[in-house]
C-alpha cells in the first residue's frame, strides 16, 4: 500500500464520547446555526454533516483516485491522508483487524474507501423492488447495530464509494430499456419497474460525499418505465433539490423511538424522518415507509401502536394518500453478534434472543438467525392489526 497526503490524528476520541460506549448523535436537535445572509450553503457543508462524516483518512484504488468522480471527491477533502490499495474489499488494517471493534463508530466517521465496481449485475428481487441494481456504495457512516452489510466485511464497515458511476448508470439504463413497459401490477409498483439503488448503503449519506445519488436520481428521471428506490434513516435536505419528478421512491425507515435510541446509532431521530416526509413528497419524490426492523421485546406492541398513532396524527393527507409500507422482522447473525459485543453490548440484549430465534439460510446464502416461524407469524399478524386500526390508510406492500 502507498500513501498520499498528510498524516491525520485518528486516535482521539470524539468530544463527549465515553470509552467503550457508542457515539449516539442527535443530528437535528441542536440550536439553529446562523447562515450567511447572502449565501445558501449545501447541507453537506454544514456542521451537522461534518459531525456525521469528517473524513481524515481515505483508502483508495488507484483507478478510483484517477476517475472524474474520484477527483471530485478528493477535491472536497484537501489534506486528507490517502492510502492506495489494490482492492477495496481487502484492506487488512480495516477488514481483518479485530482491534477495530472498539473503534467501530470512529472508523465510520473518519474513514472513507474509494473503489471501482467491476461486476455490474442487476438481479431480480420481487419483494421490496422488482430489481436490485448495482449499488453506488457499500457500507455506511451510520452504525445501526442490526445492519446486515458488515456481516461480510469483518471488523470495520465505513463507506466504500464506487467512482465508476457512469458505468453503473449506463448498465441500469440498458437493463431498464431491455424490460420494456411493465405489463402487470405487483406489490412493488402497479406501473413501473422498481430498482433498489441502495441495497448495501444509504444514498442520503452518500450524498454528503459525492454526486452518485444525484446522478442516479437524474438517470431515472429520464426512464419513464422505471422508478428508483432506496431506504434511508438520514434526513439530508440536499436531496430536495434533485428534482426526481416522481421517478424515485424514498423509503424512510421507522421504529419506536426507544428502539432507535438504542439501535439506530448516528441516524436522524425517527420523528425527524417522519417530519421530512411531506418535504420530500413536495420535492417530487414518492414517499413510503419501512417499518424495520421489528424487534420483539417487552412492550413492543405498545410502542409500535404509539408510533403508528404518531404517524396518523402528524402526516398530512397528501402523504397518506400515496404512502405504503414494508414490514421487515429482525434477521441477525452470529458474527455481527460477536462484533456488537465488542462495541455495543447493550444492543445484543434485545437483538440476540436464542430462545425465540432459529437458524435460516438467506437468499444470498448467508447463515443467519430469525424469529421462529410461529413467533414471527403471530407478531406480523399483530402488527398488521395495529396498522389496520391506527393507520388504516397505510397500505402494506410487503411483509417479511
Q: How confident is the model at residue 1 (pLDDT cuts 50, 70, 90)?
A: low
Look up cell 456525521; give the residue.
Answer: 52
Q: Residue 152 in contact with residue 191, Cβ under 8 Å?
A: no
Strand partners, 213: none
Position 364 scores a pLDDT of 60
Work out the angle between the directed axes of helices 270-282 and 300-314 (0-180°, nearest 10). 30
> How far apart are the C-alpha atoms of 146 and 370, rounded to whole Å?
12
- Tell me how crowded residue 374 is: count the other CB atoms within 10 A of its CB: 10
pLDDT tens digit string along 61-98? Answer: 999 999 999 999 999 999 999 999 999 988 988 887 88
Position 39 scores a pLDDT of 53
Say yes or no to pLDDT of 245 above 50: yes
Put residue 16 in one of left, alpha, beta given phi > 0 → left and psi -120 to 50 → alpha: left
Look up cell 463507506; give the residue.
Answer: 159
> How far apart are the C-alpha atoms of 163 and 212, rounded to whole Å?
8
Beta strands in the chain (DSSP E): 2-4, 57-60, 81-84, 111-115, 123-124, 131-132, 137-138, 143-144, 159-162, 193-196, 226-232, 248-254, 264-265, 286-294, 324-329, 331-332, 357-361, 367-371, 395-399
Say yes or no to pLDDT of 38 above 70: no
> How far apart are the C-alpha atoms of 247 and 225, rounded to whole Å?
9
Q: How confident is the model at residue 155 (pLDDT cuts 50, 70, 90)?
A: confident
Say yes or no to pLDDT of 261 above 80: yes
| Reported pTM | 0.89
Tell me the average pLDDT of the chain: 89
Say yes or no to pLDDT of 171 above 80: yes
In this prediction, residues 279-305 reach a mean pLDDT of 98
Say yes or no to pLDDT of 235 above 50: yes
Say yes or no to pLDDT of 20 above 60: no
What does 8-60 look like in DSSP terms, one character per residue?
----SPPTTPPTTS-----TT-SPPPPPPTT----GGGSHHHHHH----EEEE
pLDDT tens digit string along 354-400? Answer: 999 999 877 666 689 999 999 999 999 999 999 999 999 999 999 99
Say yes or no to pLDDT of 24 above 80: no
pLDDT tens digit string along 297-328? Answer: 999 999 999 999 999 999 999 999 999 999 99
Amino acid at each position: 500500500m502507498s500513501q498520499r497526503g498528510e498524516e491525520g490524528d485518528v486516535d482521539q476520541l470524539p468530544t463527549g464520547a465515553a470509552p467503550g460506549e457508542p457515539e449516539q448523535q442527535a443530528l437535528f436537535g441542536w440550536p439553529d446555526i446562523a447562515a450567511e445572509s447572502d449565501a445558501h450553503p449545501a447541507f453537506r457543508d454544514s456542521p451537522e454533516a461534518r459531525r456525521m462524516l469528517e473524513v481524515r483518512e481515505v483508502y483508495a484504488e488507484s483507478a478510483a483516485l484517477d476517475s472524474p468522480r474520484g477527483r471530485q471527491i478528493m477535491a472536497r477533502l484537501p489534506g486528507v491522508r490517502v492510502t492506495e490499495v489494490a482492492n477495496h474489499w481487502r484492506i487488512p488494517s480495516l477488514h481483518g483487524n479485530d482491534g477495530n471493534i472498539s473503534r467501530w463508530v470512529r472508523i465510520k466517521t473518519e474513514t472513507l474507501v474509494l473503489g471501482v465496481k467491476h461486476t455490474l449485475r442487476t438481479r431480480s428481487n420481487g419483494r421490496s423492488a422488482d430489481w436490485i441494481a448495482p449499488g453506488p456504495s457499500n457500507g455506511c457512516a451510520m452504525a445501526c447495530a442490526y445492519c446486515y452489510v458488515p456481516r461480510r466485511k469483518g471488523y470495520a464497515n465505513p463507506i466504500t464509494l464506487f467512482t465508476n458511476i457512469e458505468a453503473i448508470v449506463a448498465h441500469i439504463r440498458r437493463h431498464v430499456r431491455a424490460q420494456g413497459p411493465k405489463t402487470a401490477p405487483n406489490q412493488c409498483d402497479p406501473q413501473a419497474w422498481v430498482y433498489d439503488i441502495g441495497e448495501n448503503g444509504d444514498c442520503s449519506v452518500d450524498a454528503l460525499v459525492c454526486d452518485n445519488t444525484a446522478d442516479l436520481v437524474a438517470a431515472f428521471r429520464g426512464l419513464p418505465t422505471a422508478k428508483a428506490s432506496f431506504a434511508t434513516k438520514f434526513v439530508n435536505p440536499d436531496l430536495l433539490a434533485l428534482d426526481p419528478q416522481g421517478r424515485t421512491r424514498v423509503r424512510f425507515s421507522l421504529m419506536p423511538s426507544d428502539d432507535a435510541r438504542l439501535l439506530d446509532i448516528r441516524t436522524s431521530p425517527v420523528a425527524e424522518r417522519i417530519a421530512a416526509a411531506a418535504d420530500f413528497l413536495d420535492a417530487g419524490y414518492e414517499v413510503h415507509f419501512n417499518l424495520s426492523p421489528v424487534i420483539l421485546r417487552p412492550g413492543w406492541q405498545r410502542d409500535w401502536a404509539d408510533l403508528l398513532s404518531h404517524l396518523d396524527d402528524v402526516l398530512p393527507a397528501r402523504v397518506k394518500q400515496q404512502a405504503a409500507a414494508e414490514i421487515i422482522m429482525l434477521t441477525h447473525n452470529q458474527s455481527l453478534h460477536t462484533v456488537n459485543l465488542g462495541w455495543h453490548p447493550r444492543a445484543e440484549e434485545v437483538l440476540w434472543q436464542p430462545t425465540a430465534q432459529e437458524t435460516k439460510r438467506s437468499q444470498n446464502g448467508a447463515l443467519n438467525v430469525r424469529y421462529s416461524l410461529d413467533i414471527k407469524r403471530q407478531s406480523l399478524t399483530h402488527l398488521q392489526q395495529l396498522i389496520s386500526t391506527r393507520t388504516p390508510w397505510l397500505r402494506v406492500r410487503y411483509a417479511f
